Amino acid sequence: MPSAKSNPFLNRLAWPGLPTTLLGLLTTALLGCSTPATGPAQSAPPRYRAVIDAGSSGSRLHLYQSQPDGRFVTVRELFSNAQAPHPLSWYDGRHGPGSEPSQAGPEGVQSLLKRLQNHLQAQGMAPEQVPVELLATAGMRLVPPATADSIYASVRQAIQTQGFTLGEVRTLSGQDEGLYAWVDVNYLQGRFHRREATEGVVEIGGASAQVAFALPQAPTEPSPQVRVLDINGARYPVLAVSYLGLGQNQARLAMLQHPASGGTEANVCYPRNPESTPARYSADLPGWSVLAAGGRYSAACRSVYEEVVQQTSADAPNAYPVQQLLAQPGFAQTRFVGLSSVYYAFKDWGALTAAQPATTLQTALDQRCGGPAGWPQVLAQYHHHLNSFSQNACANGSFVWSLLYSPRALGLREDQLKAQGRVQGQEPSWTRGWMVMQAGR
């Protein structure tokens, strides 16, 4: 639980040897002068900031308004847009003409900036009133540094060309991504305002997964996984870990390469298709497809993913085995919110409102993906939409189950996590958490 902090302003008034009566009069006089003698207190004007979340599967722009609220801050999302043609990491020069780093600005973010410009114009605001930040996540962590620098140079030029104030343009660390997702969820739930016990987050993206939760108290020895956050006059020691390679897409790539998976011709994570279409499933990975008639979905899929989770979490740059989290103080008592791919897996497999989501998810996967004709059942579940979501649904759902519930991974209880696509009516985004921390400085 957080501990209240003393008022630093009043602490600075406690000069040694100052008589108590005089101190009281001086304090009253100074505090009384902080607002006009009559009329309501004058509040600070709102501030605006646009943040582009450059993720591994796409980029999304968020426009926020922040305003002080007593000792805390109120952050509102005013506008959001995700209509960018490719994720920023696509502009690494490896995808043919048009994927050069120099095109990241004019092609990768220009459409987002123009839509923001149109929105601001409709509100009577000028672009220079709004700093634009671009913070990239796991997709750009996989791009070589020199290439990333060229991509970011192109982005900076595009932001300034459109007349916006240039903010930060960089790759966000995985730990920060987890921390800001944790701040966002607990901010939306009002837990910082009410000084309530917080909830943890498990977020699975395309290239990485983040786990973050508050410890009962800060560790006696410094830990690179723990950051102490000062929020609304309270201190929260938060353990946040990011696992590069345990995003949904990267984990699927590792599964396909695992010797026990059956590879691309007889894979244990894909349903058998007795029909001619599709002949091969798109694995939603460049250059990878899976023979549909060779699908052999079974419980072995989860075993393969369990090994992927264990191996990836222990390898550099992660080097923090996922089971170490289980031994941390407060982990077993923490309630978690599942975000991003966790939410979609629960939604697609009917586990969102289930009393026993782990059992429901596992049963649905076994019943619909397994057997001699699993694919028609899966396709029907997706209203016969033949796309990357339906073709990889069994593999993705199995990965989510393995990471969350396997005793060889996080080993969460049935009642320990609730997947959410919205929190208090708002779509979760770590960018809001970043904004809360920036505005609160």
For the chain, the structural domain boundaries read 47-172, 248-419
Structure tokens at 296: 């052999």
Give mean pLDDT, residues 26-47.
48
pLDDT digits (tens, 9 = 90+) for 85-101: 899 999 999 999 999 99
DSSP codes, 174-239: HHHHHHHHHHHHHHHTTHHHHTPPP-EEEEE-SSEEEEEEE-SS--SS--TTEEEEEETTEEEEEE
Give mean pLDDT, residues 73-83.
93
pTM equals 0.88
At 43 the pLDDT is: 67
At 42 the pLDDT is: 52
Assign 441 a pLDDT band (cuts: 50, 70, 90): confident
At 10 the pLDDT is: 29
Assign 111 a pLDDT band (cuts: 50, 70, 90): very high
At 44 the pLDDT is: 80
Helices (H) and strands (E) counted in the chain, each on its own, are 15, 13
- Helix (H) / strand (E) element for 9: namely helix 8-13
pLDDT higher than 90, residue 162: yes
Residues 6+ apart with CB under 8 A from 233: 4, 5, 71
At 102 the pLDDT is: 97
At 188 the pLDDT is: 98
What architecture is the 47-172 domain classified under in CATH? 2-Layer Sandwich (3.30)
pLDDT higher than 50, residue 362: yes
At 68 the pLDDT is: 87
Select the more confidently predicted residue: 32 or 119.
119
Residues 6+ apart with CB under 8 A from 326: 332, 410, 411
Give mean pLDDT, residues 381-404.
97
94 backbone dihedrals φ, ψ, rounded to 5° = -100, 5
pLDDT digits (tens, 9 = 90+) for 427-438: 999 999 999 999
Residues 6+ apart with CB under 8 A from 193: 72, 232
At 69 the pLDDT is: 81
At 439 the pLDDT is: 85
| Average pLDDT value over all residues in the chain | 90
At 2 the pLDDT is: 52
Give mean pLDDT, residues 330-351.
97
Lowest mean pLDDT among 187-191, 273-277, 360-364: 273-277
pLDDT higher than 70, residue 158: yes
Give mean pLDDT, residues 346-365.
97
Assign 134 a pLDDT band (cuts: 50, 70, 90): very high
Q: How far apart are CA 345 and CA 45, in angstroms?
A: 42
Positive or negative, the CA dihedral 423, 87, 431, 191 is positive
pLDDT higher than 90, residue 108: yes
Euclidean distance between the first and the last CA atom of the chain, given in angstroms as a whole number:
22
